[in-house]
Amino acid sequence: MRTDGHVRSLAGNRRFRQLLAVRLTSQAADGMFQASLALSVFFNPALGEASDPFRYAAAVAILLGPYSLLGPYVGTVLDRFSRRNLIAGANLARALLMIVICLTLATGFNWTWILCAMLVLAANRFVLAGLAAAHPQVVPADDLVTANSLASTLGALAYGLGLATTGVAKLLDSGVSYSMLAFAAGCGYLVSALLVGMSFRRSDLGPAEDEAAPGGLWRGIAATTAGMWAGFKHLGRRRGPALAMAVQGLHRFLYGIVFIIAIALFMGFFWDVESDPTRTTTISWLLVLAVLGNVGVLAAALATPRATRVWGPRNWVIVLMALCALVVAALAGTMRPVMFAVAVLLVNIASQGVKITVDTAIQRGVEDAYRGRVFSVNDTVYNVGYLAGLFAAALVVPANGYAPGTLAVVALAYGLICVGYAYLARDEAPYDSQAWSPAAPEPRPSTST
């Protein structure tokens, strides 16, 4: 089974192209918006010198916390209402919120724009989870792994392009304000909302009428709060996807630790205040890291479909975790900027490769009636693991980021994950890479009150 054949099939799939356009415009806007926020927080002289790892972790947590904790409830909504309408509505709401942010962003730490930013990122939960859950509605089963690879990778590249556009605009001192960049992001959200509204009918992206979870929204929220255990039991009976999700959550925890170390190093240990008082070199390095991270994402997209078909998805996950262990061990032994650039490239190959594998495992192993819920749970584990890693690093990483011992521990942890997963998943691959095997139907959890 050749990957290029799947790419050609997807290229001729009009519905997939339309859904991809919705994703690309939305994620490019995400990149511009989040870069403008990050630069306004970390490089705003009015806020004082940014040299505290806890500040880095707290800034990310304030914005991602609500996004991460909404997971199961977003799934409840995605399994009950038109995903097309939810995606369009979420992006339209974000476009409107950007107007408020544009008017208040220039004032620094203003709780009005912080609250709006939290809502914008929380709404992104509906968009990304809804797009992932909708793939089986527009893509043939045999093309799912390549569709996941293309969509998530091109989406990440669009996000990186948005980040880079904002970073270059500030690096070149173009005079473009953070508010104008946020306004451009709002335009992207509006375009994305219009695209999904005009390209699909209400029911085109699921859930299917005969599989939609019954009951109203509030009844569904109450049932979700009282009976989330049933959703975990559904996933528990599919051990292959569950183990892959666990590996991804642990990886994100360790990734958060490495992220804090890298940011602290470039903001502290690697920064020469005398030769670079305006941090031009720091911003340049961060842009290089962003570009290399997206190159890694693209490389993973090219490698993962073929690797999972040749080696199998289980072995591919093992290889990627082993790669992370070796790369982080090399970082601990060198602690040089160029090595962090190489590490960003390789670790992002691993991170995106695991993500593509997990997404495909959920799509192949979970019924459509549960798929939105499980994707949301997976996203929550993904983000909560990352946030936990950020704060764990904030407790042990010095202000200048020089922590080779911590990196050595992270490398050892990656090695243990690699060995542990190889043993636990020896008979439980994330999915069958050679054949389509739909999820076995099972009764839905009761929604009665």
pLDDT given at position 224: 60
H or E segment to which residue 207 belongs:
none
Cα–Cα distance, 175 to 172 (Å, whole number):
9
DSSP per-residue letters across 341-373: HHHHHHHHHHHHHHHHHHHHHHHHHS-HHHHHH
What is the full per-residue pLDDT of the chain (449 aa) written as tens digits?
455 677 888 888 899 999 999 999 999 999 898 888 777 766 655 444 556 777 778 777 776 777 677 766 776 777 777 889 999 999 999 999 999 888 887 665 567 877 888 888 888 888 988 898 888 889 988 888 788 878 887 888 898 888 888 877 777 765 677 778 888 999 999 999 999 999 999 888 978 765 555 555 566 666 665 545 656 666 777 777 888 899 999 999 999 999 999 888 888 788 776 677 666 777 778 778 878 888 898 899 889 888 888 888 889 999 999 999 999 999 999 999 999 999 999 999 999 999 999 888 887 777 766 666 677 678 778 888 998 999 999 899 998 889 999 999 999 999 999 999 999 988 777 776 655 444 444 433 333 32
Q: Are 294 and 35 in contact (CB under 8 A)?
A: no
Q: How far apart are CA 169 and CA 156, in angstroms?
A: 20
Q: What is the DSSP letter of 268?
A: I
Which letter does DSSP use for residue 269 in this model?
A: I
Place of tokens 């947590």: 61
Q: Retrieve residue 139's tokens.
A: 């893509």
pLDDT value, residue 189: 96
The pLDDT assigned to 418 comes to 95
For residue 207, whether the previous peptide bond is cis, meaning omega lies within 30 degrees of 0, is: yes
Residue 448, CA atoms < 13 Å, CB-side half-sphere: 1
Q: What does the domain layout of the chain look like in residue ranges?
A: 8-424
Instruction: Compute the distance between CA of residue 181 and CA of residue 76 in angstroms, rounded to an integer.
Output: 33
Longest dimension (CA), the chain: 67
What span, in angstroms and rounded, lies between the C-alpha atoms of 183 and 96? 10
Exposure on the CB side of residue 384, measured as CA atoms within 13 A: 14
Residue 448 is predicted with a pLDDT of 33
Q: Which CATH class is domain 8-424?
A: mainly alpha
Q: What is the pLDDT of residue 440?
A: 41
Tell which phi-psi region holds residue 335, choosing left (phi > 0), alpha (psi between -120 and 50) or beta: left
- CA distance readout (Å), 191 to 13, 33, 186: 21, 15, 9
Q: Are 381 and 328 in contact (CB under 8 A)?
A: no
Q: Tell me, what DSSP letter sits at residue 107?
A: G
pLDDT of residue 57: 81
- 408-412's contacts with Cβ under 8 Å and 24+ in sequence apart are 408/329, 408/332, 410/254, 410/257, 410/258, 410/328, 411/325, 411/326, 411/328, 411/329, 411/331, 411/332, 412/325
CA–CA gap between residue 16 and residue 6 (Å, rounded): 12
Taking the C-alpha atoms of residue 336 and residue 343, their distance in angstroms, rounded to an integer, is 11
What pLDDT score does 87 carry?
94
pLDDT, residue 445, reads: 37
Q: Of 246, 247, 234, 205, whose CA–CA distance to 85 is shortest?
A: 205
Alpha carbons 36 and 448: distance in angstroms, whole number: 46
- Distance of CA 320 to CAs 165, 221, 383, 413, 422, Å? 30, 37, 19, 14, 12
